[in-house]
Amino acid sequence: MTRPLTIALSKGRILEQTLPLFAQAGIEPETDPDSSRRLILPTNRPDVRFVIVRAADVPTYVQYGGADIGVAGKDVLLEHGGEGLYEPVDLGIAACRLMLAGPAGGGGGPVGRARVATKYIRITHDWFAAQGRQVEIIKLYGSMELAPLVGLADWIVDLVDTGNTLRANGLEPYETIADITSRLIVNKAAMKTRNAEVRGMIDAIGEAVAAPTE
Ligand code: PRT
Ligand code: MG
């Protein structure tokens, strides 16, 4: 028997908004992913399983075929680069913006070369380079909002939804770098070797996204 079609998901806000789409497509995990410690979750369909990975690892699993399909934020996909992946469906969920932000009323910024703290070093580098702006990029893994408050950086590049986190820390958004939603991604080889199954899943999820929700 061939291995079940393997779908990589991450816990947290993406999982919460993705499971209803898969449920509409007739696929439901047999154990609750939020409470379970299992990393491989069988579903009601013996030919389909979920695997639970870190959000930033989803493209890597799908690129190398550890999973055939995945759901990842566009932020994560841009940072990964998208090698070996198709991105056939915009799920429209977990929407936010990737933004340059800094101190409220921060004026023109620093006199010299600005320091920018972010976990999105590739996106940040490319965005500033495209404008011919020279900045020093500092890699962080979280809590970017703290960096300007303690003088670690002048600016940050981070996701913004309501803007509450920025405001609560005396920061404000300056410029939008990218509009973000989550995407269905597919391993390029699986698209060929398991075409019927993969196409079926893309179509079912596409229909679930298009269907009106209650
Ligand atoms: O937890 P882990 O380290 O494994 O990964 P993660 O923290 O990246 O996962 P998770 O579940 O928090 O986020 C996964 C994805 O959700 C991101 O890659 C985005 O595509 C999407 N998403 C949508 C968001 C947000 N909205 C968001 N607002 N991810 C994070 N945030 C954070 C943001 O970083 C900031 O700290 O929320 C804060 C801002 O929110 P507001 O409403 O205060 O503006
Ligand atoms: Mg998190």
Which pTM was predicted?
A: 0.95
Q: Check whether residue 72 and residue 35 sit in a common domain.
A: yes
Domain limits at 146? 96-178
Residues 15 and 84 in one domain: yes
* Residue to substitute in 144, 161, 183 for testing ligand 1 pocket (most ligand atoms within 8 angstroms of CB): 161
Task: Please give the tally of structural domains in the chain.
Answer: 2
Question: Using CA atoms, how far apart are residues 187 and 85, in angstroms rounded to an integer?
Answer: 5
Residue whose CB lies within 8 A of the most ligand 1 atoms, among 78, 159, 166, for a mutation test: 159
Average pLDDT, the chain: 96
pLDDT tens by residue, 69-112: 999 999 999 999 999 999 999 999 999 999 999 999 986 778 78
79 touches ligand 1 (CB under 6 Å):
no
Asked if residue 110 and residue 31 are part of one domain, the reply reads: no
Burial classification of residue 39, based on how many CB atoms lie within 10 Å of its CB (0-12 exposed, 13-18 middle, 19 or more buried): exposed
Give the CATH number for residue 41: 3.40.190.10
Lowest mean pLDDT: which of 11-20, 74-83, 198-207? 11-20
Asked if residue 140 and residue 101 are part of one domain, the reply reads yes
208 lines ligand 1 (CB under 6 A): no
Examine the domain organization and report whether 64 and 19 are in the same domain.
Answer: yes
d(CA 140, CA 147): 9
Same structural domain for residues 169 and 188?
no
Co-location of 86 and 56 in the same domain = yes
Do 196 and 151 sit in the same domain of this protein?
A: no
Q: Are residues 122 and 188 in the same domain?
A: no
Same domain, 88 and 158: no
111 shares its domain with 51: no
Q: How far is the CA of 12 from the centre of ligand 2 (A)?
A: 7
Q: Quick check: CB of 78 below 6 Å from ligand 1?
A: no
Give the dihedral sign, CA 112/117/118/122.
Answer: positive
Quick one: 72 and 125 in the same domain? Answer: no
Residue 214: pLDDT above 80?
no
Nearest protein Cα to ligand 1, atom 26: 96
| Ligand located closest to 56 CA | 1
What confidence tens digit (pLDDT) does each residue in 125-181 have? 999 999 999 999 999 999 999 999 999 999 999 999 999 999 999 999 999 999 999
pLDDT for 107 equals 66
Strand segments, DSSP code E, in the chain are 5-9, 40-42, 48-52, 69-73, 85-90, 96-103, 114-118, 135-139, 155-160, 171-180, 182-187
